[in-house]
Amino acid sequence: MLLYFKPGACSLSARIVLTELGLPFESVRVDTAAGTTIDGADYRAINPKGYVPALEIEPGIVLTENPAILQYLADLRPQAGLAPATGTLDRVRLQEWLNFTSSELHKAFGPWFSGRSFEESEQSRAEINLARRIDDVERGLSDGRGFILGETFTVADAYLFVVLNWTGFIGFDLARWPTVAAYVARVAMRPAVRAALIAEGLLQEEAA
């Protein structure tokens, strides 16, 4: 398999899952602004949407969209337990959190990654919206569960961690959400997560 990624972007969640599962894969860095891969190939010929991730599962067959990619990977090795069985309520809960992360939490970070400066009023609105979405995660973890679906790490945690971890890059303090902050720290300690962060240059190897 071939993972098209941008360091620290949501494609990091696919790398985490591939690493958790021990699946063999190669990766190609993408410059989404230029629309090219690191070797100069036209990325839009691979994924016309232009963003990451994209996962080539075999020559000419490319998957896009994180919720789809992460569930596909989990189902390759169901014995690993990274996704509940299809047709169960727990699987629907997994999809619920994947879709929330994709459509609401991920989107709430958009203003910081727009490539332009904030106006003061715009930043205030963006911070209020992001706080509301983090409130949702805090409530989801409020019963003391270790991971977002319970006591088992799933692909939903891989995606949720990656997006919540962006708070560090934009200087948005998670101190108001102690349960979320503890969750991010806990997931960050997983060996596969640390390995993925190192692979993308986001963590020094000696710090691991």
Domains of the chain and CATH, by start = 2-79+195-207 (3.40.30.10), 83-190 (1.20.1050.10)
Q: Is the pLDDT of residue 206 over 70?
A: no
- State the Cα–Cα distance between residues 29 and 42, nearest whole angstrom: 12
- Give per-residue pLDDT as tens, 66-112: 999 999 999 999 999 999 999 999 999 999 999 999 999 999 999 99
Quick one: CA torsion of 56, 62, 67, 68, rounded to 10 degrees?
Answer: -110
What are the backbone angles phi and psi of residue 188, rounded to the nearest 5°?
A: -65, -20
**Both structure tokens of 103:** 């459509």
Q: How many CB atoms lie within 10 A of CB 188?
A: 14
171 three-state secondary structure: coil
- Residue 42, strand partner residues: 36
Q: Is the pLDDT of residue 207 over 90?
A: no
**pTM for the predicted model, two decimal places:** 0.96
At a CB cut-off of 8 Å and minimum separation 6, what does 12 contact? 5, 162, 196, 197, 200, 202
Helix count and strand count (H, E) for the chain: 8, 5
Quickly state the pLDDT bin for 119 (edges 50, 70, 90). Answer: confident
Give the residue with greater pLDDT, 119 vs 123.
123
| Plot region of 55 (φ>0 → left; ψ -120 to 50 → alpha; else → beta) | beta
At a CB cut-off of 8 Å and minimum separation 6, what does 184 contact? 161, 164, 165, 174
- State the Cα–Cα distance between residues 151 and 153, nearest whole angstrom: 7
SS3 content of the chain, % helix, strand, coil (to 5): 55, 10, 35
Vertex 94: Cα angle to 197 and 162 (nearest 5): 20
- Give per-residue pLDDT as tens, 136-171: 999 999 999 999 999 999 999 999 999 999 999 999
Identify the helix (H) or strand (E) that includes residue 143: none
Give the CA count within 13 Å in the CB-facing half-sphere of 72: 15
